[in-house]
Structure 1
C-alpha cells in the first residue's frame, strides 16, 4: 500500500497543479476580455467620439437627454442610484443602442465620493451633464437637509472628481427656482437670484460652487436654468414615471394625467389668490425635447475658460387654470378640480426671457403648442399606466 500511494502522489499533484493553472488562466482571460456591454470600450478615448457622463440619466429629463446624445453619436455613461430614476428607461435605451461602447449604466450614489472617484478613474469622460437631483419644491420645504445634501453636496463631489481626473466640460442642470419671486418679468439671466425655497437655494449654492471653481481653472461651464418641464419623446419611447409616493409633489402634468386615468379622484390646484389674470400661478412650460436640445447645443458651444448661463423657456407665461383646460382637451377627460390654499414656497409668476440663449446658442423652443405637448405625453401615459414597471 505504501508503494502504491507513493507512485500515485506525483500524478495527483500534477493534476491539481494543472487544474489550478487552468482556473487562474481562465480568470485572467475573463478579466482581459471585453465586457459584453461594451463598458470596457468606454475606458478608452476614441478619436472623434465624445464620451459624456450623464448623472441622473435614468430620470425623466436625464433619460431624454441620453436618447438625444446617443442619436447624435455621442458615447454615454449613465450614473444613477435609481432613487428617482427608472431602470426601465435604461433598458429601453440599451435596446435602442446595443452597439458595444455606446452606452453603459452604473448604479451608484453621487454622495459616495469613493464610488464616484472610482467611476472617473475607470472611464475616460470628455464632459459631464449633471442632472441628478431631487427636484420638488414642496418636498424641499418638508426635507430641506435632504435637498442641500443631494443637490449642493453631491455637486461638490462631482466637481472634485472632475478636477482630480482632468474632465474639463460641465453642463449643469439648474432651475428658475434660483430667481425666487422677481419683481419684474420676464426673467433674464441678470435677474437677481433670491430663492425662496430649499430647492432653489440648494441649486444656487451649487451654481456658486461651480462658478467659484471655474475662476481658477480652464473649465468649460454651461449652466442652464430651465422652467417647468412637460412633454415626452415624440416617438413614444420614453416618458415621465414618478414613484407613486412622490406624485403629490410632482409636476402638474403628472397630476392631470393621473386624474384623467382615474388614479386620483381629481386635480388639486393650490392657490387661487395670486396677483395674476385668473388668480392661479403663472409658469413657463418648456417641452422636454426642446430642453435636451438646449443641453446638446450648450455642449457643442462650451469653450475652455468660459462660463455660459442661460434661461431655457418659451418666454410665454401660462396660468394653472389655462394649463388644466389644455390638459382636459389633450386627454379628453372631464377632470375634476379642487381649489385649495397656497403651497408653501411657491411664487405667483415666473416666465423667461430666452433671448440670450436664442442669440448665443442659436436655440429656440419649437414645441410651444401646450396642448400638443400634453397630447404626446398623454399617449405615453395611457400605454404605460404603471410607468416602466418596477424599478
Structure 2
C-alpha cells in the first residue's frame, strides 16, 4: 500500500509540474504573440491616435485611402468581403506598414448585421470611411435589387452600428450619379438630385439615411460626391485590378488599358449621338490621389453635429473621345475603337463645380492632366500583367 501510494503521489507531482510548465509556456507565448499585442492596440482608444474603419479598403479607391491614412500615421482597420476588393492590395499595404497596431484586415460582409456589430464591439473606432459598394451603372440597371441591398441596406447597418457603439464621425463615399442628368452645368451641391439609374438611386437613399440620422445625433458627417475616378498611386504600389468577369462593366480607363494590352480586341464606346461637342458623353475625371486627399481633409474638418456635402471633381468635362485619345498617347498604342448604341442609365454630360470644397476645406485637384494620370496608371498595369497575382 505504501509503495502504491508513493507511486501515485510521484505521478501526481509529475503531472502538476508538467501542467505548470505548459501553463508557463502558454503564458509566455501569449505575451510574445504579435496578434495579441495588435488586438489590444485596436481594441483600445489611444490618445493622439485616430483609429479609422475603412469599409471596402481592399478595393481600388479604398486601398488608396488606406495607404494615405497609414502614411499620415492613422491606425486603420479594413473590413472587406473581397467580392470586389483584392487581397493582393491588402498584402501590399501590410508589407509597407508592418508595425504592430497600424493595420488590421477583417474579412466580413457588411450585410451581416451580427458580424458588423461584433466588429464594432471588439474594436475602438474613432471614425468610419465607408467606401464598400458595388459601383457599376450598367450592372445596376440589370441587378437593381442587388444594388439597393449592397449600398442602401448595408449603409443602414453601418450607421446603426456606429450609433450603438458611439462612433461619432462618418466620411461617406457617394457619387455624382445622385444628380442624374441636370439641365444646367456645372453641378453644384444644391443641384436637385434626380438619379436615373439604380446605382445613383441607392446612393441617394444611403445619403438620406445618414442625413436623417444626423439630425437626431451629434454625428460628424462628410458626404463626398465623386465624379469619374482615374489614376493610381504615383509610387506604383497600388492600382486598379477588377475581376475579369467585370471588365464589361468597369471604368473606361480599365477598358482602355485592356485594349492596349490586347486582353480585349478593342474599346467599345457606347453612345455617339448625345448633345455634346462630339456626340460622346462628357465626364469630369478626378485622379484617385486627389480624391483621397479630399477624404483626408474631410476627416480633419469633420465637426460634431454638422453635415458637409461636397462635390469632388476637377471642374471641367472631357468627352469620351478626348479620353480615348489621351489613353492612346499615354499607352503608345493605337487602340481600336468600336462605336455602339447608348448604354441604359447613362447621361450625356456631367461635370462639377468644386468651389465649395475649395472654400471650406481648402481642397483643389492637382492632377488634372488626363494623359499624365493615365500614364501613371498604365505603368502599374504594365508591371502587373496579372493584377496583384504577380
Judge which range, 69-78 or 37-46, deviates more: 37-46
Q: Distance in 2 between matches of 1:262 and 1:255?
A: 10
1:22–1:156 distance in 2 versus 1, CA, 3 Å: farther
Q: Distance in 1 between matches of 2:148 and 2:231?
A: 28
Q: Distance in 1 between matches of 2:164 and 2:30?
A: 26
- Map 1:122-133 onto structure 2 (within 5 A): 122-133=122-133
1:39 shift after superposition = 3.5
Q: Which residue in the other structure is 1:341 paired with? A: 341
Contact 1:34 1:41 in 2 (8 A): no
Q: Which residue in the other structure is 1:160 paired with? A: 160
1:293 counterpart = 2:293: yes
1:275–1:59 distance in 2 versus 1, CA, 3 Å: same
Q: Distance in 1 between matches of 2:206 and 2:30?
A: 39
Judge which range, 29-38 or 320-329, deviates more: 29-38
RMSD in angstroms over aligned alpha carbons?
Answer: 1.6
Q: Distance in 2 between matches of 1:154 and 1:28?
A: 40
- Map 1:92-103 onto structure 2 (within 5 A): 92-103=92-103
Q: Which residue in the other structure is 1:16 paired with? A: 15
1:304 shift after superposition = 0.3
Q: Which residue in the other structure is 2:328 paired with? A: 328
Contact 1:178 1:200 in 2 (8 A): yes
Contact 1:39 1:100 in 2 (8 A): no
Contact 1:34 1:40 in 2 (8 A): no
1:16 shift after superposition = 3.1
1:213 shift after superposition = 0.4
1:27 shift after superposition = 4.6
Q: Which residue in the other structure is 1:357 paired with? A: 357
1:120 shift after superposition = 1.1
Q: Which residue in the other structure is 1:61 paired with? A: 61
Q: Distance in 1 between matches of 2:330 and 2:113?
A: 44
Contact 1:42 1:123 in 2 (8 A): yes
- Map 1:19-34 onto structure 2 (within 5 A): 19-27=18-26, 30-31=29-30
Q: Distance in 1 between matches of 2:98 and 2:343?
A: 44
Q: Which residue in the other structure is 2:49 paired with? A: 49
Q: Distance in 2 between matches of 1:326 and 1:203?
A: 30
Contact 1:52 1:76 in 2 (8 A): yes
Q: Which residue in the other structure is 1:114 paired with? A: 114
TM, length-normalised to structure 2: 0.96
Secondary structure of residue in 2 paired with 1:172: strand
Contact 1:219 1:306 in 2 (8 A): yes
Judge which range, 147-156 or 11-20, deviates more: 11-20
Q: Which residue in the other structure is 2:377 paired with? A: 377
1:342 shift after superposition = 0.7
1:147–1:27 distance in 2 versus 1, CA, 3 Å: farther
1:341 shift after superposition = 0.6
Q: Distance in 1 between matches of 2:177 and 2:16?
A: 66
Q: Which residue in the other structure is 2:230 paired with? A: 230
Contact 1:231 1:374 in 2 (8 A): yes
Q: Which residue in the other structure is 2:150 paired with? A: 150
